[in-house]
Amino acid sequence: MPIWLETAIRSICILIGLFVITRILGKKQLSKLSFFEYIVGITVGDIAGTMSVDLGISLQEGITSILIWSLFPVAVARLSLRNKKFRDFVEGNSTVFIKNGKILEENLKREKYTVDELLEQLRKKDVFRVADVEFAVLEPNGDLNILLKREKQPLTVGDVFPNPPREKEPQTVIMDGMILDEPLAAMGLGRGWLKEQLDKQGVAVENVFLAQVDSYGQLTIDLYDDKIQIAEPQEKKLLLAAMKKVQADLELYALQTNSEEAKALYERNASKMQELVQKVEPLLRN
């Protein structure tokens, strides 16, 4: 067998083997690489590379080594799932750097962090004043995470509206001009409904690149032809406007009428309508 052929066969086999191994190792390895896992990854790659080129190494030796290097982290991950103490030992603990707004110098020293590095990490998180930080912790993977003081935290919807309406994830119902039945069914809707909505907007299914349904059953679409203007869904806004108009009308009638009985009736219903508007306005506004 010519040397090049042997190298080719080895390389292809090792490639396939590595692919399987990375599949087994899973996604966690990608997102949260500890130092140990990082080293293991490099070493496995190195062994594989050497094995495919260096014909002096027998396949037995190489495969044994690669299996040990790649299966050991899997075993460690399995064990640390079960045992908290083992997990702490393997993955390390987080170190608190700032507590109650005060820097803990001892912990900085223990992690060999200079103040400059701490400031740099804080700036990465858009914090330029240490005084704004209530709590900061160095995670085992080297990230610094911070909790700002209450008055420095960004405003959230919950701060402005005490009970904001909940919103579920929108579903994509048309992709590349094809209707996706599964998400449509998940929303409790059908092809008939979709057809009706598209007809309302005056477009054919084939011309739709992407269509999504939000949690209020409103359809938003993107067409292949970007020159065509599509109106945003207005139903909710129109409904809110109609409710406000009716409320105003009822108040007007209450003022215009001479009959006491009718006045009472109009006023009662006007206030009912007012309450109604207040109740549904947060849901209809966007």
Q: Which is nearer to other proteins, 222 or 275 (CB)?
A: 275
One DSSP character per residue, 207-265 reads GEEEEEE-TTS-EEEEES-TTS--PPP-HHHHHHHHHHHHHHHHHHHHHH---HHHHHH
With b meaning 16 or more CB within 10 Å and e meaning fewer, what string describes 32-62?
Answer: eebeebeebbeebeebbeebbeeeeeeeeeb
CB of 172 to other proteins, least distance (A): 14
d(CA 139, CA 94): 5
Of residues 18 and 198, the one with the C-beta less far from other proteins = 198
Other beta carbons within 10 angstroms of residue 197's beta carbon come to 19
Shortest approach of other proteins to residue 156 CB, angstroms? Answer: 19
Residue 272 C-beta: closest distance to other proteins, Å: 6
Give the nearer residue to other proteins in terms of CB position, either 130 or 265.
265
Contact residues for other proteins (CB under 8 A)?
Answer: 165-168, 187-189, 215-217, 235-236, 238-239, 242-243, 245-246, 249-250, 253, 256-257, 262, 265-266, 268-269, 272-273, 275-276, 279-280, 283
How far is residue 209's CA from residue 154's CA, in Å, rounded to a whole number? 36
Rounded to an integer, what distance in angstroms lies between the CA atom of residue 22 and that of residue 73? 11
CB of 269 to other proteins, least distance (A): 5
- Of the pair 26, 190, the CB lying nearest other proteins is at 190
The least distance separating other proteins from the CB of residue 107, rounded to whole angstroms, comes to 44
* Nearer to other proteins among residue 191 and residue 272 (C-beta): 272
